[in-house]
Every structure is written in structure tokens, then in C-alpha cells.
Amino acid sequence: MPNVRANGIDIEYDECGNPNDPALLLIMGFTAQMTAWDEEFCRLLAGEGFRVIRFDNRDCGLTTKIEGGPDPDITAAIGGDASSAAYTLDDMADDAAGLLDALGVAKAHIVGASMGGMIAQLVALRHPDKALSLCSIMSSTGDRTVGEPTPEAMSALLQPIPQSRDEAIERGVSVNGIIGSPGYPTPEAKLRERSGRAYDRQFYPAGNARQLVAIMAQEDRTEALGGVDVPALVIHGAADPLVQPSGGEATAKAIPGAELLTIEGMGHDLPEQVWPLVVEAIVGNARKAVSS
């Protein structure tokens, strides 16, 4: 996979589809590498006439690691003191916009999941000239009174760092059992294979803590989202325990004209069974931008 220099870091990315088609940028969430966007899911989008680009966020996968800054203090950040943040989600949104610039992409449809949805919102806010449309999946506005995780989901997020490949795989299975889709359970064998591949590609827990503090450091975007002026779609699982559905509802309410798609039985993942529905919704939203 190639990488480019953008916003002062080296960003690992790949793409599929016709390079002459409109670009669609996929932004993954907390601790998740770009490979968490399944290749078949990307091909489905590309088949609808898009140049689909995915990438590793900073401190994750094969993109630059942000070392040498303050030690992330997760406990303090949860308590409201995010002064140990090495960077913010604003910086990560600038990474995404910088990647588009480096690839010669003037404008793109911006799609993000979880933390990636927060980053996608910020791309639309900070770089409105680059956003053709916006899709925020299983995400929230930064208002801590909405989309709060259940205690069980938060505990899953803060489990001890795995000390081996086997432990990382077990954690992947365990976490999915708590935050995954109860209506569309992923077979355990597939979870193990997926977790093993992610571990083999890159295991970098130090970046996880910095990303988490970056989320905690972000200001409430609710008022700012009122200025988003592109077709917007919010997708959320009705059974999401990590970002509860009120987060998606608040996001859709904050963005003028946004459409809210709530998927019954879906938790905090993108199970294969919902891909056709999700792809159809993303494509429909993107085509609103073309028609307007």
C-alpha cells in the first residue's frame, strides 16, 4: 500500500474504483486501521461509481506515530481535563484534508465511522470546500450528554493492553461480544481471523491512548454543525452501546436537512448483513450532491 506526505506526517492509504470517478473518502474510528473498512464493502461503493479511498489515521496502522509529546492521562481526560492531549480531532481532520490534497482530489464525499464520524464532521466544518457530502456513522456531536457509552461498553474500551497476539485476538472477540450487533452477530472464527490480521499488520497501543484523549479533548460541535451546507446522512445502530443512539439523533438534528437512518439490531460495528442498506444510503446521499 502507498503512502503520501500530508499535514506533516506520512499517511498510509489505498484506493479502489475508477480514478476518474468522484472520490469518496472513508475515515475509520478509534484504534481501527483502514483495513477495518472491509475490501468487499469498498468494492460495493466503487461499483456504484466512486473512487474509494481509505487510510490509516495518525497513531494507527502504518501512518506516522506521534511520539515525544505528553503522556496521555486517560483518567484525567475522562474527568474533563484533556491537557495531556498530543493532538486533537481537528488535527486528524486536517490530516484527511491533506491526504486529499496530496492525491490531487479537489472535493470528495466524506464518510466516517465512530471517531471517524467525528473527524468527517470536522472535515466538513474546517474544509467545507473539500466536502461534497457528509455521512456520519455510529458517531456523535461531542456533546457529552448524548451518545454516552453504557458502563459495560466503556469497560470494554478500557480493558488492559494485550501482551501477545493471542491476547489481542481474545480481546477482539470479547469486545465485539459487548459492542457488536446483537441482530447480526459475526462468527467467532471471522472475528479471530480479523483480529489476528490487524495485530500482524500493526500493533501499537501507545497510539490508542493518544487517540482516546484526542476524542476527550474535542469541543462540542453541535452549534457548528448548523453551518454544514452539504447533503448529510447519519447512520446509527439502534442497539449501539458504545455510542448510544442519542448521539446519532443529536447529530442529525444539528445538521440542517440531515437524514437519519437507524438500523435495528445493529450495534457498534458494520456487519456484512447491513452493507447493502448502508451502501445504498451512502450512495443516495452522495447523489444528492451531484443532483444539486
Residues 164-179, mean pLDDT to the nearest whole number:
96
Give the pLDDT confidence score for residue 69 in this predicted structure: 87
Q: Is 170 inside a domain boundary? A: no
Residues in a beta bridge with 233: 135, 259
Q: Is 177 inside a domain boundary? A: no
Residue 153's SS3 state is: helix
State the CATH number of the domain containing residue 31: 3.40.50.1820
**pLDDT at residue 32 is higher than 90:** yes
- Mean pLDDT for the chain? 96
Give the pLDDT confidence score for residue 222 in this predicted structure: 98
Dump pLDDT digits (tens) for 104-125: 999 999 999 999 999 999 999 9
The domain of 39 spans 3-148+206-291
**pLDDT at residue 197 is higher than 80:** yes
Dump pLDDT digits (tens) for 79-98: 889 899 999 999 999 999 99
Q: Is 54 inside a domain boundary? A: yes
Q: Is 214 inside a domain boundary? A: yes
Contacts of 117 (CB under 8 A, 6+ apart): 27, 29, 136, 137, 138, 139, 140, 251
Residues in a beta bridge with 232: 134
Q: Is 197 inside a domain boundary? A: no
> Got the DSSP string for 84-130?
T-SS-HHHHHHHHHHHHHHTT-S-EEEEEETHHHHHHHHHHHH-GGG
Least confident segment among 64-78, 89-103, 238-252: 64-78
Per-residue pLDDT band at 292 (split at 50, 70, 90): low
Per-residue pLDDT band at 78 (split at 50, 70, 90): confident
Q: In degrees, to the nearest 5, what angle opens at C-alpha 145 toward C-alphas 216 and 160?
A: 45
**pLDDT at residue 1 is higher than 60:** yes
Q: Is 51 inside a domain boundary? A: yes
Give the pLDDT confidence score for residue 95 in this predicted structure: 98
Check: pTM over 0.85? Answer yes or no: yes
Q: Is 117 inside a domain boundary? A: yes
For the chain, the domain total comes to 1
Dump pLDDT digits (tens) for 204-247: 999 999 999 999 999 999 999 999 999 999 999 999 999 999 99
Q: Is 173 inside a domain boundary? A: no
